[in-house]
Amino acid sequence: MTSEARHVLVLAGGLTHEREVSLRSGSRITEALRSEGLEVSLRDADAALLPWIAEHRPDAAVIALHGGRGENGAVQAVLEMTGIPYVGTDSWNCRLAWNKPTAKQLLQRQGLATATWYTLAHDTFRDLGANALVDALAGSLGLPLMVKPINGGSALGSSAVHETADMPSALVGAFAYGDVVLVERFITGTEVSVTVLEGPDGPRALPAVEVVPASGVFDYEARYTAGSTTYHTPARLDEQATGNAADLALAAHRILGLRDISRTDAIVDEHGVAQFLEVAVSPGLTETSMLPMAVGASGLHLGRVYADLIEQAIARGR
Amino acid sequence: MPGTSLDQHRDRYAQRTEGMRASAIRALFAVANRPEVVSLAGGMPYLQSLPLDGLAEEFGQLVAKDGLVALQYGSGQGIPELREQICQVMALEGIKAHPDDVVVTVGSQMALDLTTRIFCDPGDVILAEAPSYVGALGTFSAYQAQVVHVAMDDDGLIPEALVAAIEQCRAAGRRVKLLYTIPNFQNPAGVTLSEARRPVIAEICRSAGVTVLEDNPYGLLGFDSTMRRAIRADDPDNVIYLGSFSKTFAPGLRVGWALAPHAVREKLVLANESTTLNPPVFNQMAISRYLATFDWQSQIKAYRQTYLERRDAMLGALAAHMPEGTTWTVPDGGFYVWVTLPEGFDSAAMLPRAVSARVAYVPGTAFYADQLGSRQLRLSYCFPTPERIVEGVRRLAGVLDGELEVMRTFGTGATRAVRGPQSPSPDTA
């Protein structure tokens, strides 16, 4: 089926901390889809959205929203209510994948590797005493540690802790983004990002993208300042480790019930074991994002990939 | 395989681009223009009271009758009619100037850039109030000048602190070139340099061989209608005065100016030409027509009244909602209130929480070149309606409650260093 006449809604913006990234993703995928001949309406997820959908009834939607409603299943649920087919994971599974500790737990139960972690709410620190709990965390997990909000991407609110004394400020930084944090053991190794693309023949892993931030930390600045991180696609891993990273991403895609396209972030440790960090159900599509790099390294075009996913979504119904 | 950094120019950039990087804090401002968010962050003037129909007619006539001039290249110094009118505007603040000494620029921001360019080599010191205008700090940084902050109190810059700063710089072998000051309704602190201190500051700088860069975008926006005498009015030889139509008329036209001593003016004109050839002729002529045809002084009165109502709304809301131990300045004009939070708060770290609560402000650290200001934040009252201002402050109070709870849990002092741009883009309301 050709997609020439398709009218696609691209959703970008939102009111999340990642609005700026989302606007850039939305702009990029809009351009890519238009170059494939699709008619694209780029819109924000705001109070005008539902009346617009009712009036225009697009053939399908692409969600380029990051964080919050764009990834926690809310916008997906709204699209399901309207009957507009969309690219990506359904609302139920978004809600699972969106919660980092839940995703880790589901994968760990299936025997996949992920750094040992604890999930703690702010009131736990308040009620039990922060100092005692910080000491207990460091004692149990060892240093260094990663502290991050349980939701959201772009490494916002995330930081590495190398000394116990730095833990309070890391926790304060993470709690600015939400009331619950994930504290996990810091894994040293090769940081990779693996995109899984699901077509008629099932899901397949695209080449892993290895990230090497100049500062040593893949934080917001390193992600979105061109030139501050070196990317290797495919990752500089041996054959077995490459396979491990791909297998992990495919397993995450399957176990978490992800659909169409997903991105799994992982660390390949010194033994070649791929340790799961998190998944993105609505991965970044900006100039410095890793999904477009993986697509390019596979000899594919971003617009064509999404145009095919749009047809797949329409064929699926919703 | 060498990999890619996604920027093939990476190794070719000048050192001065060091601070030009993505910033999580700046990204948070992306939501500020959404109607769901009460933005107390930006400094956009409230243009709704402008006589748009009349301006449309006037600007249309400008093209119809004088288009061949308005759309042509012009003088690097600016058109003579506007420079004469600028002198009339400055006369309101006691300045006697000749149009030959006025250089029209693309906003006073460009005058700031040109002045820094002709005065500062890398490593030279520019003294600036603590805190100071974020856009000036960015310009100074771009020329690799070092900013040394000088303390203020409720009467503005403290003369003794200025003397001490100059002496310390000299003792350290550093070359002090400029004192950058916003004497009226300062951005961000909202305070005004007292009349008594003005000649004192001027004399300190004159005798120390430091040129004064007097930036006065808000001078005509005093709520009591009292005109404060410009520093330049009594020291024409050692003061470079920067003015702007952005706050008194419309920022979109990007027209400002520098009034400088003869020798400096010559260099500013050459620098202006090397940057833009000439400031936009159409925009200059548009402003000139506005000044000649419209009752611009009444327009300024209308702006003053609007901003006074909004300031009062903000001060009332702060008094009603801020936690104990919070203090703030009471501006007599301009756009901004500078809030100091109780010990332990970190305004940059809590900005994500504020965005979640649909309110935005600018963290205090944006206004310092030296990482200070973590307990401060700047609130703007120029753009939102009084009702929205009250709602914004109420939301901010909720954010502080949440932050206070986290601080109680983890203790104070858990602040974090911030890097990169921390202020919104100019089009943020």
B-chain residues near A208 (CB < 8 A): none
* DSSP conformation class of A260: S
For B387-391, the CB contacts below 8 A with 24+ separation are B387/B313, B388/B38, B389/B38, B389/B40, B389/B310, B389/B313, B389/B314, B389/B317, B390/B313, B390/B316, B390/B317, B391/B38
Q: How far apart are CA B197 and CA B207, in angstroms?
A: 15
**Angle in degrees, 0-180, between the axes of helices A91-98 and A100-109, rounded to the nearest 10:** 90
Sequence-separated (6 or more) residues with CB below 8 Å from residue A16: A22, A65, A66, A67, A68, A69, A70, A152, B31
Query: Which of A122, A172, A230 minimises the CB distance to B349?
Result: A172
Q: For every one of its 318 residues, what pLDDT tens digit does chain A have, with 9 covering 90 and above? A: 444 579 999 999 999 889 999 999 999 999 999 999 999 999 999 999 999 999 999 999 999 999 888 899 999 999 999 999 999 999 999 999 999 999 999 999 999 999 999 999 999 999 999 999 999 999 999 999 999 999 988 889 999 999 999 999 899 999 999 999 999 999 999 999 999 999 999 999 999 999 999 998 898 999 999 899 999 999 999 999 999 999 999 999 999 999 999 999 999 999 999 999 999 999 999 999 999 999 999 999 999 999 999 999 999 985
| B339/B354 Cα distance (integer angstroms) | 15
Are B406 and A156 an interchain contact pair (Cβ–Cβ within 8 Å)?
A: no
Among B150, B139, B144, B140, CA closest to B181? B150
3-state secondary structure of B194: coil
Cα-flanking dihedrals φ and ψ of residue A88, to 5°? 115, 180
Which phi and psi angles does A272 have, rounded to 5°?
Answer: 85, 5
Structure-token pair, residue B122: 């890398």
Q: How many residues does chain A have?
A: 318
ipTM of the predicted structure?
0.89
d(CA B321, CA B340): 14
Contacts of A173 in chain B (CB under 8 A): 349, 416
- Asked if B24 lies within 8 A of A219 by C-beta distance, the reply is yes
Nearest CA in chain A to B30: A20
Query: Cβ of B12 under 8 Å from any chain A Cβ?
Result: no
Query: How far A220 CA sits from the closest chain B CA (Å)?
Result: 6
User: Would an 8 Å CB–CB cutoff place A76 in contact with chain B?
Assistant: no
Question: Is A307 part of the contact surface with chain B (CB cutoff 8 Å)?
Answer: no
Task: Count the Cβ atoms, other than its own, within 10 Å of residue A310.
Answer: 24
| CA of A41 vs chain B CAs: smallest distance (Å) | 19
Q: Say if the Cβ atoms of B31 and A210 lie within 8 Å.
A: no
CB neighbours of residue A280 within 10 Å = 24
Instruction: Give tens-digit pLDDT for B144-174.
Output: 999 999 999 999 999 999 999 999 999 999 9
A265 is in an annotated binding site: yes
> Which residue in B124, B113, B104, B141 sits closest to B178, CA to CA?
B124
C-alpha A234, offset from chain centre = 19
Is A278 marked as binding a ligand?
yes
In chain A, which residue's Cα lies nearest the Cα of B9?
A227
Per-residue DSSP letter, A187: P
Q: How far apart are CA B388 and CA B40, in angstroms?
A: 9
The reply to whether A158 belongs to the active site is no
- Which site among B1, B6, B401, B418 would you substitute to test the A interface, given the most A Cβ atoms closer than 10 Å to its Cβ? B6
Q: Quick check: is A289 catalytic?
A: yes
Give B-chain residues touching A219 at CB under 8 angstroms: 24
d(CA B380, CA B311): 9
Fill in the amino acid letter for B217: P
User: Distance between CA B109 and CA B11 in Å, rounded?
Assistant: 29
The side-by-side arrangement of strands in the sheet containing B176-181 is B102-105, B256-259, B239-244, B211-215, B176-181, B125-130, B146-153, B156-157
Beta strands A274-280; A261-268: pairing state: antiparallel
Give the confidence band of B415 by pLDDT, cuts at 50, 70, 90.
low
What is the Cα–Cα distance from B311 to B331, expressed in whole angstroms? 8
Q: Which amino acid, B127?
A: L
Cβ-nearest to B22 among A177, A220, A230: A220
Question: How big is chain A by its Cα radius of gyration, in Å?
Answer: 19
Instruction: Tell me which chain A residues have a C-beta less than 8 angstroms from the C-beta of B4.
Output: 230-231, 233
| Beta carbons within 8 Å of B265's beta carbon, 6+ residues apart | B100, B101, B102, B103, B258
Distance separating alpha carbons of residues A187 and A223, to the nearest angstrom: 19
pLDDT digits (tens, 9 = 90+) for B175-229: 999 999 999 999 999 999 999 999 999 999 999 999 999 999 999 999 997 889 9
How many angstroms separate the CA atoms of B42 and B237, rounded?
A: 35
- Token output for B315: 């001060």
Beta-carbon contacts of A132 under 8 Å, excluding residues fewer than 6 positions away, are none
Q: Does A65 touch chain B (CB under 8 A)?
A: no
Q: Mapping DSSP to helix (H, G, I), strand (E, B) and coil, where does residue A277 land? A: strand
Q: In what order do the strands lie in the sheet with A86-87?
A: A39-43, A7-11, A60-63, A86-87
C-alpha B300/C-alpha B289 separation (Å) is: 16
CB contact under 8 A, B414 and A177: no
CA distance B187 to chain A (A): 26
A30 vs B22, higher pLDDT: A30
Chain B residue numbers touching A172 (CB-CB < 8 A):
346, 349, 406-407, 410, 414, 416
Where are the alpha helices (H) located in A165-284, listed in sequence order? 167-175, 220-224, 239-255
Neighbours of A46 (CB within 10 A): 14
Predicted confidence at residue B2, as pLDDT, reads 81
Q: How far is CA A224 from the centre of its chain?
A: 15
How far apart CA B79 and CA B297 sit, in angstroms, is 22
**Residue A270: active-site member:** no
Least Cα distance to B250 among B39, B104, B92, B51 occurs for: B51
Q: List residues bridging with B24 in a β-sheet.
A: none
- Closest by CA to B231, choosing from B257, B204, B256, B254, is B204
Residue B416: per-residue pLDDT:
60
Interface test with A, best of B406, B407, B415, B416 (most A CBs within 10 A): B406
Beta-bridge partners for B130: B151
Q: Produce one character per residue of B74-102: b if its CB has 16 or more CB atoms within 10 Å, e if not.
A: bbbbbbebbbebbbebbeebebebebebb
**For B414, which of A46, A172, A288 is closest by C-beta distance?**
A172
Q: For the whole model, what pTM was predicted? A: 0.93
Whether the predicted pLDDT of B88 surpasses 70: yes
Cβ of B172 under 8 Å from any chain A Cβ? no
Q: Give the pLDDT confidence of B117-143 residue by residue, as tens digits.
A: 999 999 999 999 999 999 999 999 999
For B27, the closest chain A residue by CA position comes to A20
